[in-house]
Amino acid sequence: MRLALISDIHANLEALEATFYDIADRSIDRIVCLGDIVGYNSDAAACIALIRGADCVCVAGNHDLAACGRITTRKFSGSAARAVAWTRQKLSADDLDFLENLPLKANIGNRVIAVHGALHSETDCASVRLDNDKQRMQSFDSLMTHPSGARICAFGHTHHAAIYELRGNLVAMSAEEHVQLRDTSYYLINPGTIGEPRSAERRATYMILDLERRTVTTRYVDYQASAAFVATHRPGLASRFGLAGLASRWRA
């Protein structure tokens, strides 16, 4: 099974469309969205439509939860809170219902656990950031005792792509574009951000997790350079992406 891990789209339609075009050429079985479909940018409804049309496994991000009213924006920055308020007014009742019903965690075949922020938090797992060793170790502890037996947790929220490996009692971080996973290690995998970069890397980033070959490959998509191509081919997006084909392969 080959999974495309995407996260933190933040209503950036151009970035999401360009990423979907890239995914379409990679023989992916299913897309896993790690949350924050909405927020900051202006195309929340269109991004929700693409995520739903692609039959993604999807968990809720903190911006998704705030937009539909499941959490407050008390801990958000001023700009993030204003974006949430604006987004809420632009979404349909159906869009808001979709966000409201997103799970906080998803179990993918007892092999991968998907969250937005952190695995170890039960009530605030969409907001806790795995941005330091203490927090990451707590999520590793939760992963090691998870009833699914999964050894991989995919998360987002920090907007920085990285792979963390727990081997014995040691945690190592890799930013390599292609990583071979060990059978005996545990992993926290962050694919970075599709639509809201917060580093010198301005391209959209996502990861391909091949569960049979036990590899993780980071993909970089220059969506600004791809914007004209995507606009020209937008009417054929669904057929080129093969949404029905992806869904049928997953169900099979």
Fill in the DSSP letter of residue 61.
Answer: -
d(CA 53, CA 230): 17
Task: Please tell me the predicted confidence (pLDDT) of residue 199.
Answer: 87
All domains in the chain, ordered by first residue: 2-251 (3.60.21.10)
- Which whole-number Å values give the CA distances from 1 to 9, 112, 183, 212, in the listed order? 23, 11, 16, 6
% of the chain surpassing 90 pLDDT: 79
d(CA 29, CA 89): 34
- Which whole-number Å values give the CA distances from 227 to 12, 13, 15, 25, 173, in the listed order? 12, 10, 8, 17, 33
Cβ neighbours, 10 Å, residue 31 = 24
- Which whole-number Å values give the CA distances from 62 to 77, 193, 225, 234, in the listed order? 12, 14, 29, 29
Given 3-state DSSP classes, what are the helix, strand and coil percentages for the chain, each rounded to the nearest 5? 35, 20, 45
For residue range 115-155, list pLDDT tens digits in order: 999 999 888 888 999 999 999 999 999 999 999 999 999 99
- Report the DSSP beta bridge partners of residue 217: 178, 208
Find the range with the poorest average confidence among 34-38, 42-46, 154-158, 247-251: 247-251
d(CA 196, CA 83): 13
Residue whose tokens read 């590793």:
140
For residue range 193-228, list pLDDT tens digits in order: 999 998 888 899 999 999 999 999 999 999 876 555
d(CA 51, CA 87): 17
Cβ atoms of 171 and 137 within 8 Å: the answer is yes
Over residues 72-79, mean pLDDT:
93
d(CA 72, CA 150): 32
For residue range 161-176, list pLDDT tens digits in order: 999 999 988 999 998 8
